[in-house]
Chain A
């Protein structure tokens, strides 16, 4: 017997590779989206800080905007710096 697979369509869920499931700011799952967005993934990406904490990009940007001075990571209170890995 010879079995030829002409096509295999698998099903997979995608997920962010992060050390937490939920965004520390909005408490929503990373694999969902921030409260301002409707579509997850490309449209509501995650960003990492140099402290290694990560958030929805839209959430941390909003947070930083609300802190004109002393921009800190809301989790560890270290100064916030984007990690452009």
Chain B
């Protein structure tokens, strides 16, 4: 045996790992027993100058063991399992087995350290000053080089289960991992033991850190979603922050207290705290942004959610996202034909109110509602809906705004010096403000004004109101004039006296009519044979144009009306009446063989009945001639009586009274009060009036086309803008112009081809 052989055998004794027969789990040698051998080793190394070789050999052996045994075994624990909770045990066992071997290697390293000291070997392993750190480095590198596919799942599993255990509020007495009763459960202890071992091996951060962060993010997200799903009526921000501290951060503290890689664990937890709080805010804000449309719809119940969002926005820089998402939501959920105009308006008003809270500068409001404005402008019935909801019975948003607006206006009249007293509370406009509009303009604009601005014309608005008022006054005789006067006063405050003066006269006409009726009924010259008569006497100049319809009334009524007219002429010198035969309301009682009906109907319908009283059977043509009413229209009107079971069509175009219902299904009740639901507007529609206005542009358009031969729509619109829309004339938008021109095409007054309009030759 030569010196080398002896030295090698000695070496293997001191460092058993050098021997290929070494297995982990052998009882570690008692250091004292081998003291002699150790010093012999040191001596021989010194003589042979083999210290460096020994170290390299050892490192190589350690690496080999790690690569071929420890790490593969460690990863062999990571198998996907059906049972979520199984991951907990898997990871625990994996770490335990790794740690046991690691401890043995660490022991080898301790001995190597001693050896290096004794032989004064200064060569570093992988440039690490501390040999133990070098071992950890090798371990980490080897582990990561053999990463298992299921590793994240299992780690996630392990921590998720533990976190759930931490976060369960009510203790139902059973551990969710081992399913044992809590008092016998050892799981929390196993959890901490695992973390301690990982910490010892400096593997906490490299092996677990990223997965843990992901887990917590997912966990926070799920938690927020769970607690504030569809619940807009309470604030969550304080609750969430508290939860983050008491549950998540505290739990992290329990893990990272074992981390040996950093000198101060609170610093690590502090970083987590910052990062997670930030994430919490971001996540909560995003969830609220996604819900924003619903939040808006539920205003004012959703105020707490809005307040939360207002607090979160400055901390998250998510305002651009909010703007984008809300605009999108508005588009997909509101601005399509499936939503009725009143619903669009309701949502619009709610949006204005909510966004005022989110962003008092009004910029957000302006951006988000811009498409809504454009959309509302394209809907025909918008003005009508606004006006009718303004004057509707019962509580409604717009009517509230009307009253609110009154106060706003009073405020505006008292001069506020913007640069004066309030300079300390002044806040600059956000940087994305368009400089064209002053912030003061935005702040004072109220909802009604905004809606009116959608049309750019108070006049159109007021006209629509006038038409609706006229309709109500004429068709609902019982209409509450006092209430109408009250509303009129409110509207006057906003739109000015002059615009609404016409409506005032209309209301006065109704009041006057009631007085005149009383007067005439007391007139001894006037007699009411069998038809009690009253009249609504209106000042034509002040009412919107009436829809004209021809109707010849029954002779009995004509006589009655003549009597009324002369009584009026006597009462009001030099004045007479022009009756609008087709307008008005008639209360009827119809007595048939087996039933009696009480109805409120239109004059046409009443006239039909009066004729049928004279004669049981009528031919459509005959009645049409007598009543001066086109057969198609008359047939529709007769339909009303058919639906009441009073008239039947016995032969084509022949109608007859149905005295009793005998064999007919008895679904018509006696003494029913049915409104004439066919009640159409008595006024020429706004559309008709608009057409008339557009007609004034027609001569301009013809002139243009004579000079320039062919023109596209846009060009016509531009030229009209330049020449025709001047002064107080109402403008018309591109869409309206297109509809108008297209009608002219249908009427063969224009030719349209390849996107150009021209006059017919």
A residues adjacent to B (C-beta < 8 A): 1-18, 29, 31-32, 38-42, 46, 48
How far apart are A18's CB and chain B's nearest CB, in angstroms? 7
Report chain B residues within 8 Å CB of A41.
512, 539, 572, 575
What is the bound-complex CA distance between A5 and B561, given in angstroms? Answer: 14
Tell me which of A17, A32, A42 contacts B541 (CB under 8 A).
Answer: A32
Report chain A residues within 8 Å CB of B557.
8
In the complex, whether B634 has a CB less than 8 A from a CB of chain A is no
Given contact pairs A1-B613, A40-B539, A14 touches B584 in the complex (Cβ within 8 A) = no
Please tell me if the beta carbons of B586 and A11 are within 8 angstroms of each other in the complex: no
Please tell me if the beta carbons of B508 and A8 are within 8 angstroms of each other in the complex: no
Please tell me if the beta carbons of B590 and A15 are within 8 angstroms of each other in the complex: no
Please tell me if the beta carbons of B533 and A13 are within 8 angstroms of each other in the complex: no
Report chain A residues within 8 Å CB of B579.
10-12
What is the bound-complex CA distance between A11 and B477, given in angstroms? Answer: 11
How far apart are A71's CB and chain B's nearest CB, in angstroms? 22
What is the bound-complex CA distance between A1 and B537, given in angstroms? Answer: 32
* 29 A–B pairs (Cβ distance < 8 Å), ordered by A: A1-B590, A1-B646, A2-B590, A4-B590, A5-B588, A6-B532, A6-B587, A6-B588, A7-B534, A8-B584, A8-B606, A9-B534, A10-B533, A10-B536, A10-B580, A10-B584, A11-B536, A11-B538, A11-B584, A13-B537, A13-B543, A13-B580, A14-B576, A15-B576, A40-B539, A40-B542, A41-B572, A41-B575, A42-B572
Please tell me if the beta carbons of B578 and A15 are within 8 angstroms of each other in the complex: yes
Report chain A residues within 8 Å CB of B613.
1-3
Binary interface encoding of chain B residues 568-603 relative to chain A, with 1 for a CB under 8 A from any of its CBs, else 0 = 100010111111110111111111100000100001
How far apart are A33's CB and chain B's nearest CB, in angstroms? 8
Report chain A residues within 8 Å CB of B589.
3-4, 6
Please tell me if the beta carbons of B575 and A17 are within 8 angstroms of each other in the complex: yes
Report chain A residues within 8 Å CB of B534.
7-10
How far apart are B646's CB and chain A's nearest CB, in angstroms? 8
Please tell me if the beta carbons of A12 and B578 are within 8 angstroms of each other in the complex: yes
What is the bound-complex CA distance between A41 and B584, given in angstroms? Answer: 22
B:514-542 near A, CB below 8 Å: 530-542
In the complex, whether B376 has a CB less than 8 A from a CB of chain A is no
**Beyond A6-B532, A10-B535, A12-B535, 7 extra complex contacts between A and B, CB < 8 Å:** A3-B589, A4-B588, A4-B589, A7-B534, A13-B538, A13-B539, A40-B505
Tell me which of A7, A18, A32 contacts B586 (CB under 8 A).
Answer: A7
Report chain A residues within 8 Å CB of B587.
5-8
Please tell me if the beta carbons of B591 and A12 are within 8 angstroms of each other in the complex: no
- Which of A7, A10, A41 counts the most B-chain CB atoms under 10 A from its CB? A10
Given contact pairs A1-B657, A17-B574, A32-B541, A11 touches B609 in the complex (Cβ within 8 A) = no
- Which of A1, A12, A16, A40 counts the most B-chain CB atoms under 10 A from its CB? A12
Report chain B residues within 8 Å CB of A38.
501, 504-505
The residue in chain A whose Cβ has the minimal distance to the Cβ of B579 is: A12
How far apart are A62's CB and chain B's nearest CB, in angstroms? 20
Report chain A residues within 8 Å CB of B541.
29, 31-32, 40
Given contact pairs A1-B659, A4-B591, A31-B541, A15 touches B575 in the complex (Cβ within 8 A) = yes
What is the bound-complex CA distance between A11 and B474, given in angstroms? Answer: 8
The residue in chain B whose Cβ has the minimal distance to the Cβ of A11 is: B583
Report chain B residues within 8 Å CB of A6.
532, 587-589, 598
Report chain A residues within 8 Å CB of B612.
1, 3
Please tell me if the beta carbons of B609 and A9 are within 8 angstroms of each other in the complex: no
Interface magnitude class on chain B: 35 or more
Please tell me if the beta carbons of B561 and A10 are within 8 angstroms of each other in the complex: yes
Please tell me if the beta carbons of B575 and A10 are within 8 angstroms of each other in the complex: no
What is the bound-complex CA distance between A31 and B754, given in angstroms? Answer: 51
Please tell me if the beta carbons of A10 and B540 are within 8 angstroms of each other in the complex: no
Report chain B residues within 8 Å CB of A13.
537-540, 543, 577-578, 580
What is the bound-complex CA distance between A11 and B598, given in angstroms? Answer: 22
In the complex, whether B610 has a CB less than 8 A from a CB of chain A is yes
Q: Which 7 A-B residue pairs are closest in the complex by CB-CB distance? A: A11-B583, A13-B540, A12-B577, A32-B541, A2-B591, A6-B587, A4-B589
How far apart are A36's CB and chain B's nearest CB, in angstroms? 14
Report chain A residues within 8 Å CB of B532.
5-8
What is the bound-complex CA distance between A15 and B569, given in angstroms? Answer: 10
How far apart are A21's CB and chain B's nearest CB, in angstroms? 11
What is the bound-complex CA distance between A2 and B537, given in angstroms? Answer: 30
Please tell me if the beta carbons of B536 and A12 are within 8 angstroms of each other in the complex: yes
How far apart are A51's CB and chain B's nearest CB, in angstroms? 16
Report chain B residues within 8 Å CB of A12.
535-538, 565, 577-580
What is the bound-complex CA distance between A11 and B536, given in angstroms? Answer: 5
What is the bound-complex CA distance between A57 and B659, given in angstroms? Answer: 59
- Which of A9, A16, A41 counts the most B-chain CB atoms under 10 A from its CB? A9
Please tell me if the beta carbons of A3 and B561 are within 8 angstroms of each other in the complex: no
Report chain A residues within 8 Å CB of B591.
1-4
How far apart are B443's CB and chain A's nearest CB, in angstroms? 36
Report chain B residues within 8 Å CB of A8.
531-534, 557, 560, 584, 586-587, 603, 606
Report chain A residues within 8 Å CB of B539.
13-14, 31-32, 40-41
Report chain A residues within 8 Å CB of B560.
8
The residue in chain A whose Cβ has the minimal distance to the Cβ of B541 is: A32
Please tell me if the beta carbons of B575 and A16 are within 8 angstroms of each other in the complex: yes
B:623-656 near A, CB below 8 Å: 646
What is the bound-complex CA distance between A18 and B591, given in angstroms? Answer: 46
Report chain A residues within 8 Å CB of B610.
3, 5
Binary interface encoding of chain B residues 480-505 relative to chain A, with 1 for a CB under 8 A from any of its CBs, else 0 = 00000000000000000000010011
Report chain B residues within 8 Å CB of A5.
530-532, 586-588, 606, 610
What is the bound-complex CA distance between A41 and B532, given in angstroms? Answer: 26
- Which of B576, B598, B610, B657 counts the most A-chain CB atoms under 10 A from its CB? B576
The residue in chain B whose Cβ has the minimal distance to the Cβ of A33 is: B541
B:191-234 near A, CB below 8 Å: none
What is the bound-complex CA distance between A41 and B606, given in angstroms? Answer: 31
Report chain A residues within 8 Å CB of B512.
41
How far apart are B552's CB and chain A's nearest CB, in angstroms? 14
What is the bound-complex CA distance between A6 and B477, given in angstroms? Answer: 14
Report chain B residues within 8 Å CB of A15.
540, 575-578
What is the bound-complex CA distance between A18 and B575, given in angstroms? Answer: 9
How far apart are A34's CB and chain B's nearest CB, in angstroms? 12
Report chain B residues within 8 Å CB of A42.
572
What is the bound-complex CA distance between A4 and B574, given in angstroms? Answer: 34
Please tell me if the beta carbons of A11 and B580 are within 8 angstroms of each other in the complex: yes
Report chain A residues within 8 Å CB of B537.
12-14
Report chain B residues within 8 Å CB of A32.
539, 541-542
How far apart are B558's CB and chain A's nearest CB, in angstroms? 11
What is the bound-complex CA distance between A10 and B541, given in angstroms? Answer: 18
Please tell me if the beta carbons of B588 and A14 are within 8 angstroms of each other in the complex: no
How far apart are B528's CB and chain A's nearest CB, in angstroms? 10
What is the bound-complex CA distance between A3 and B554, given in angstroms? Answer: 13
What is the bound-complex CA distance between A32 and B541, given in angstroms? Answer: 6
Please tell me if the beta carbons of B540 and A9 are within 8 angstroms of each other in the complex: no
How far apart are A20's CB and chain B's nearest CB, in angstroms? 13
What is the bound-complex CA distance between A12 and B591, given in angstroms? Answer: 30
Please tell me if the beta carbons of B508 and A39 are within 8 angstroms of each other in the complex: yes
Report chain B residues within 8 Å CB of A46.
574
What is the bound-complex CA distance between A2 and B613, given in angstroms? Answer: 6
How far apart are A46's CB and chain B's nearest CB, in angstroms? 7
Report chain B residues within 8 Å CB of A40.
505, 539, 541-542
The residue in chain B whose Cβ has the minimal distance to the Cβ of A32 is: B541
The residue in chain A whose Cβ has the minimal distance to the Cβ of B508 is: A39
What is the bound-complex CA distance between A67 and B665, given in angstroms? Answer: 80
Report chain A residues within 8 Å CB of B586.
5, 7-9
